[in-house]
């Protein structure tokens, strides 16, 4: 008990009681605000980091240089168990083109939707949450940026029609997904 008494006496010599009370109130306020806004701060920090990574990628690329997608990248993404592997949207689009050429339209639709989602995530429109349904994804994108809602909602509708209702995928579905991906890309380049 004696060390505590000495500590309190030493503290009292350094700071007055009102100043100590004010410091405790400020500390409690800071802790309360940190607790209340922690998730928003983390989301903001993730958006800033993604933006910086994207800018660094853009800076390192020469505008005239076309990025070649390797066969290994395509195989890795095709075999991945992840919902949204951390690769360029172009990799998903290339994989979708391959599936469409093979007549595997359901897989092509899936990869085109993944390309659209990667574009939204990379541009900071949404934050990827593993386990989201396509409806939640469309709502989040539409809330964050209303102009992207129509193509995203229609694309998720096509995906749901094929993958959840188990309807046969047709080449028309893939063609429509290409158009929707183009609309999304056009909208994303406007801002």
Residue 81 CA to residue 92 CA, distance in Å, equals 14
Alpha-carbon separation of residue 3 from 8, 11, 124 (angstroms):
9, 12, 53
Highest mean pLDDT among 73-77, 169-173, 185-189: 169-173
Query: Per-residue pLDDT for 76 more than 60?
Result: yes
pLDDT band at 151 (very low <50, low <70, confident <90, very high): very high
Which token pair is 133? 């349904």
Reported as a single tens digit per residue, the pLDDT across 15-73 is: 888 888 898 999 999 998 888 888 888 888 888 888 887 777 666 554 445 566 777 77
Please name the residue that has the structure tokens 């990869």.
111
Class of domain 71-190: mainly alpha
Domain layout of the chain by residue ranges: 2-60, 71-190
**What pLDDT is attached to residue 118?**
87
Alpha-carbon separation of residue 77 from 62, 88, 101, 107, 114 (angstroms):
25, 11, 17, 12, 11
Give yes or no for a contact between 103 and 174, defined as CB atoms under 8 angstroms apart: no
What's the whole-number mean pLDDT along residues 115-119? 90
């Amino acid at each position: 008990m004696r060390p505590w008494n000495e500590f309190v006496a030493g503290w009292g010599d350094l700071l007055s009681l009102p100043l100590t009370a004010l410091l405790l109130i400020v500390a409690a306020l800071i802790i309360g605000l940190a607790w209340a806004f922690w998730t928003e701060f983390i989301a903001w920090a993730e958006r800033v980091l993604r933006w910086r990574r994207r800018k660094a990628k853009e800076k390192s690329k020469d505008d005239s240089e076309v990025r070649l997608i390797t066969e290994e990248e395509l195989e890795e993404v095709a075999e991945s168990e992840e919902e949204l592997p951390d690769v360029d949207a172009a990799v998903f689009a290339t994989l979708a083109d391959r599936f469409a050429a093979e007549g595997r339209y359901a897989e092509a639709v899936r990869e085109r939707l993944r390309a659209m989602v990667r574009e939204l995530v990379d541009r900071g429109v949404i934050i990827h949450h593993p386990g989201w349904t396509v409806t939640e994804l469309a709502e989040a994108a539409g809330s964050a940026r209303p102009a992207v809602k129509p193509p995203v909602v229609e694309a998720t509708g096509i995906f749901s029609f094929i993958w959840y209702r188990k309807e046969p995928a047709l080449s028309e579905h893939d063609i429509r997904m290409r158009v929707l991906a183009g609309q999304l890309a056009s909208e994303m380049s406007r801002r």
